[in-house]
Structure 1
Amino acid sequence: MPRHCPETEMQAAELVRAASAARAPLAIEGGGTRRGFGRAGAVSAVVSTAALSGISRYAPGEMVMTARAGTPLAEIEAALDGQRQMLAFEPADHRPVMATTGTPTIGGVFAANVSGPRRLVAGAARDSLLGVRFINGAGEAIKAGGQVMKNVTGLDLVKLMAGSFGTLGLLTEVTFRLLPRPERAETLVLSGLDDAAASSSMAAAMALPVEVSGAAHLPESVRGRFLSGALPEGAATVLRLEGLAASVVLRADKLAAALSPRAPITRLGPEESAVLWREIRDIKPYADGTQKPLWRVSVAPMAGAPLLEALRMEAGVDAFFDWQGGLIFLRMEAEPEAELLRGLIRRFGGGHATLLRASAAARAVTPAFEPQPPALAALSARVKASLDPHGLFNPGRMT
Structure 2
Amino acid sequence: MSKLKTEEAIADAVASAQGPLAIRGGGTRSVGRPVVGEVLDVSGLSGVTLYEPGALTIVAQAGTPVAEIEATLAAENQRLAFEPYDLTGLLGTSGASTIGGVIATNASGPRRIMAGAARDFALGVRFVDGAGRVVKNGGRVMKNVTGYDLVKLMCGSWGTLGVLTEVSLKVLPSVEAETTLAIDGLDPTRAVAAMSRALGSPFEVSGAAWVDGQVWLRLEGFEASVAYRAGMLRSLLSEFGDAAEVNADWATVRDAKPLQQADAVWRVSVKPGDGPAVIADVPDACETLMDWGGGLLWIGQTGGGSAATHERLQARVAALGGHATLIKGPEDVRAAVPVFQPEAPGVAALTAALRQRFDPQGILNPGLMAA
With the length of structure 1 as denominator, give the TM-score of the two structures. Answer: 0.88
Residue type of the partner of 2:313? L
Match of 2:34 among 23, 29, 40: 40
Q: Distance in 2 between matches of 1:71 and 1:341?
A: 35
Residue 217 in structure 1 maps to residue 213 in structure 2: no
- 2:88 corresponds to: 95
Alignment equivalent of 2:136, drawn from 143, 150, 153 = 143
Partner of 2:196: 203
Q: Which residue in the other structure is 2:24 paired with?
A: 29
Deviation of 1:264 after TM superposition, in Å, equals 2.2
Written as runs of structure 1 = structure 2, the 5 A alignment for 1:260-339 is 260-268=238-246, 272-273=247-248, 276-288=249-261, 290=262, 292-312=263-283, 316-333=285-302, 334-336=304-306, 337-339=309-311
Helix, strand or coil at the partner of 2:125? strand
Deviations 1:262-314 (A, max 9, x none): 2122102xxx23xx2011111111112x5x110000000111012211334xx
Name the SS of the counterpart of 1:173 in structure 2.
strand
Q: Shift of the alpha carbon at 1:261?
A: 2.3
Question: Is residue 59 of structure 2 the alignment partner of residue 78 of structure 1?
Answer: no
Once the two structures are TM-superposed, the CA of residue 145 in structure 1 deviates from its matched residue by: 5.0
Structure 1 distance, partners of 2:107, 2:208, is: 18
Partner of 2:232 in structure 1? 254
**Can you list the C-alpha shifts for 1:184-226, whole angstroms capped at 9, x where unaligned?**
10000011111101110111111111000000012xxxx3xxx
Equivalent of 1:366 in 332, 337, 342: 337
Partner of 2:120: 127
- Counterpart for residue 5 of structure 1: 3
Tell me, which stretches of 5 or more residues in structure 1 are unaligned? 147-152, 224-234
Map 1:183-198 to 2 at 5 A: 183-198=176-191
Hey, what's the Cα distance between the residues in 2 that align with 1:183 and 1:67? 26
In the alignment of these two chains, the number of paired residues is 361
C-alpha separation between the residues in 2 aligned to 1:7 and 1:361? 33
Q: Distance in 2 between matches of 1:320 and 1:10?
A: 44
Q: CA-to-partner distance for each residue in 1:17-40, whole Å, 9 max, x for gaps? A: 111xx3x111111100012x1112
Kindly indicate whether the alpha-carbon contact (under 8 Å) linking 1:88 and 1:118 is maintained by their aligned counterparts in 2. yes
In structure 1, how many angstroms separate the alpha carbons of the residues matched to 2:318 and 2:125? 34
Question: What is the rounded CA distance, in whole Å, between the counterparts of 2:148 and 2:2 in structure 1?
Answer: 31
Q: How far, CA to CA, are the matches of 1:357 and 1:279 in structure 2?
A: 17
Aligned AA (1:316): A
* Secondary structure, counterpart of 1:144 in structure 2: strand
**Equivalent position to 2:324, from 353, 372, 387:** 353
Instruction: Tell me, yes or no, if the aligned pair for 2:125 and 2:138 is still in contact at 8 Å.
Output: no
Q: Report if the CA contact (8 A) 2:123-2:138 is conserved.
A: no
Paired residue type of 2:11: A
Is 1:107 equivalent to 2:100 in the alignment?
Answer: yes
> 3-state DSSP class of the match of 2:241?
coil
- Pick one of 209, 216, 221 that aligns with 1:238: 216
Q: Distance in 1 between matches of 2:282 and 2:252?
A: 25
Query: 1:362 and 1:137 mapped to 2: Cα distance?
Result: 28
- Which letter maps to 1:329? W
| TM-fit CA distance, 1:122 | 1.1
Percent identity between the aligned chains?
Answer: 45
Counterpart CA distance in 2 for 1:278 and 1:343 is 30
Equivalent position amino acid for 2:20 in 1? P
User: What CA distance in whole angstroms lies between the structure 2 residues aligned with 1:357 and 1:191?
Assistant: 29
Letter of the 1:322 counterpart? D
**RMSD between aligned alpha carbons?**
1.3
**TM-score normalized by the length of structure 2:** 0.95
Whichever residue aligns with residue 295 of structure 2, its letter is G
- Whether the 8 Å contact between 1:58 and 1:66 is mirrored in structure 2 is yes
Instruction: Give the letter for the 1:360 counterpart.
Output: E
Could you tell me whether the CA contact under 8 Å between 1:90 and 1:116 is conserved in 2?
yes
| Structure 2 CA distance for aligned equivalents of residues 114 and 308 of structure 1 | 23
